[in-house]
Chains A and B, each alone.
Chain A
Amino acid sequence: DSGVTQTPKHLITATGQRVTLRCSPRSGDLSVYWYQQSLDQGLQFLIQYYNGEERAKGNILERFSAQQFPDLHSELNLSSLELGDSALYFCASSVWREPGDTQYFGPGTRLTVL
């Protein structure tokens, strides 16, 4: 158990809908990262927040957005969902914001878009 929690574990929804994935980092960690794992691709970095502010952005679609709240939990919002958004979404956290920091991964949320 990494100490990172994600909810829900599974999510099934329809195309065009909007969903919110939630992540609570390890106690004391200030950075939160979001990753997407699709069937035919490796882990893709989406976005990083550090202490409430966006720190780095990866291959995140405009239909997706994220934020980190004062209590450091983070939410990833996915809207106008398409079939291709079906994937495993991981959240990870680290103590600081530096690229060399070890990242601890949560159990993931499996999103299925029908």
Chain B
Amino acid sequence: ILNVEQSPQSLHVQEGDSTNFTCSFPSSNFYALHWYRWETAKSPEALFVMTLNGDEKKKGRISATLNTKEGYSYLYIKGSQPEDSATYLCAFITGTASKLTFGTGTRLQVTL
């Protein structure tokens, strides 16, 4: 059974704060890690797919890093805005299976 853990479970920040969350996954047989953003009443939206150790991806104010040797990925949001409020999910995939194993997510709330 693959365990993907995300921390913290929830986070409440003020507008303008920068924040980050962690996704931990098994380091053996790594293939890819996906990050998704899931707003309430909408469907998950793909942010990044990361495959290489040391990889860093950026999309606007959001960026992510990957360490496959130690089994973690960080997601950073710079200057949080209320529209960043959502649940951020990571999903891990091994080389021997095609299925994504999702973490339970980090719920971010950004207030004015």
Q: Are A56 and B49 in contact (CB under 8 A)?
A: no
Cα–Cα distance between A106 and B46 once the two chains are bound (Å): 12
A55 to chain B: closest residue by CB: B98
Within 94-114 of A, Cβ neighbours of B (below 8 Å) are at 97-108
Which stretch in A42-50, A63-71, A72-80 binds the other chain?
A42-50
Question: Which residues of chain A in 1-29 are interfacial with respect to chain B, using CB atoms and an 8 Å cutoff?
Answer: 2, 4
Q: Which of B84-105 contact A (CB under 8 A)?
A: 89, 91, 93, 95, 97-105
Interface membership of B71, Cβ < 8 A = no
A100-B33 Cα distance, complex, nearest whole Å: 8
| B43 interface residue (CB < 8 Å to A) | yes
Please report the C-alpha to C-alpha distance between residue A2 and residue B38 in the assembled complex, in whole angstroms.
13
A residues with a Cβ closer than 8 A to B are 2, 4, 33, 42-45, 48, 55-58, 90, 97-108
- New A-B pairs, 20, CB < 8 Å, besides A99-B32, A100-B31: A33-B100, A42-B89, A42-B102, A42-B103, A42-B105, A43-B91, A44-B102, A45-B99, A48-B99, A55-B98, A58-B99, A99-B93, A99-B97, A100-B32, A100-B49, A103-B46, A105-B45, A106-B43, A107-B43, A108-B43
